[in-house]
């Protein structure tokens, strides 16, 4: 298949998905012929390339949401806190399900009322990209190191820490079967990024909350987790003021467990459960631990 044919197949299928999403109707059989070619397609080279694709309409095919909290210091004799941590979900919505809802939760907001008042006393800045198609949202995936969204990069570069949330499958991460048998608990969090203190805090808190978690840099796992360790210097989790941050790759089973019904964006927003709260709070405790070592000077 030539490059131009791949682009055509992508646009054919994405246009059909977007039309179905806009109309609120299910897809029908005319996509069957296009789907095999589309599966061979390569992903967008950057967010800019995706945004420029005329077959995609923001608000129908995808959305971008962010929140920055106003902070200021007008008094000469006192010092005030400032946002030190941002939460990112680069592949939210239907791309890597559960990541955008969890980003909102960790940031201090309810996934069922993203535009409302915060539900937790401490809030964090956040940014997310969400796939809104009725199907085929994986076509909207942009590899983290190629993310060039201006708001996402601005948030990363203006914070000491970034926690970036991602989804994977259990089979992709190839953990040793002696510890993680395929027939056992497949809900696992893989913690990466170039900030070792942040990784340690996240693994510790996630485990203490009752979940399985591994450090992608642990020698026991590092050989098979190279693609999931968040090590690239242009990964937004590492484009912080410190040049290092953290990311969590969560298996499908882990993400599904955070909701009573994970089948759609609306279902996830309405059915986040006690497991969601436990995982959310574990991440927030890890952030608090890291920030405690970063006093405002």
Average of pLDDT values for 231-236?
97
Q: How far apart are CA 191 and CA 246, in angstroms?
A: 7
131 burial level (CB within 10 Å; 0-12, 13-18, 19+): buried
Average of pLDDT values for 5-16?
48
Task: Render pLDDT for 181-220 as a digit per residue (tens, 0 to 9).
Answer: 999 999 999 999 999 999 999 999 999 999 999 999 999 9
Q: What angle do CA 25, 29, 31 make, to 5 degrees?
A: 90
Task: Render pLDDT for 112-140 as a digit per residue (tens, 0 to 9).
Answer: 987 788 999 999 999 999 999 999 999 99
Return the pLDDT at 34.
37
Nearest CA-CA partner of 144 in 160, 132, 127: 127
- Answer positive or negative: Cα dihedral of 173, 174, 179, 181: positive
Task: Render pLDDT for 252-266 as a digit per residue (tens, 0 to 9).
Answer: 999 999 999 999 999
Q: How far apart are CA 272 and CA 202, in angstroms?
A: 21
Average of pLDDT values for 78-97?
94
């Amino acid at each position: 298949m030539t490059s131009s044919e791949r682009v055509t197949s992508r646009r054919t299928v994405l246009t059909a998905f977007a039309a179905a999403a806009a109309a609120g109707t299910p897809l029908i059989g005319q996509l069957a012929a296009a789907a095999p070619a589309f599966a061979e397609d390569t992903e967008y080279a950057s967010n800019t390339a995706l945004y420029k694709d005329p077959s995609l309409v923001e608000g129908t095919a995808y959305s971008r949401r962010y929140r920055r909290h106003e902070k200021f210091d007008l008094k000469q004799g006192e010092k005030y806190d400032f946002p030190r941590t941002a939460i990112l979900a680069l592949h939210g919505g239907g791309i890597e399900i559960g990541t955008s809802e969890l980003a909102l939760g960790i940031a201090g907001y309810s996934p069922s009322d993203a535009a409302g008042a915060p539900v937790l006393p401490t809030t964090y800045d956040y940014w997310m990209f969400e796939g809104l198609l009725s199907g085929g949202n994986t076509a909207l995936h942009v590899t983290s190191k190629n993310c060039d969204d201006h708001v996402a990069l601005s948030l990363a570069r203006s914070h000491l820490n970034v926690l970036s949330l991602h989804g994977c499958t259990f089979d992709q991460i190839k953990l040793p079967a002696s510890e993680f048998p395929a027939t056992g608990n497949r809900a696992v969090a893989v913690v990466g990024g170039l900030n070792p203190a942040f990784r340690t805090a996240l693994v510790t808190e996630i485990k203490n909350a009752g979940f399985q978690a591994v450090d992608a840099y642990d020698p026991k796992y590092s050989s098979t987790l190279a693609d999931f360790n968040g090590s690239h210097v242009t990964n937004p989790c590492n484009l912080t003021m410190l040049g290092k941050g953290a990311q969590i790759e969560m298996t499908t089973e882990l993400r599904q467990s955070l909701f009573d019904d994970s089948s759609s964006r609306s279902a996830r927003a309405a059915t986040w459960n006690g497991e969601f709260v436990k995982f959310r709070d574990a991440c927030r405790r890890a952030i608090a631990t890291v920030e405690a070592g970063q006093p405002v000077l």
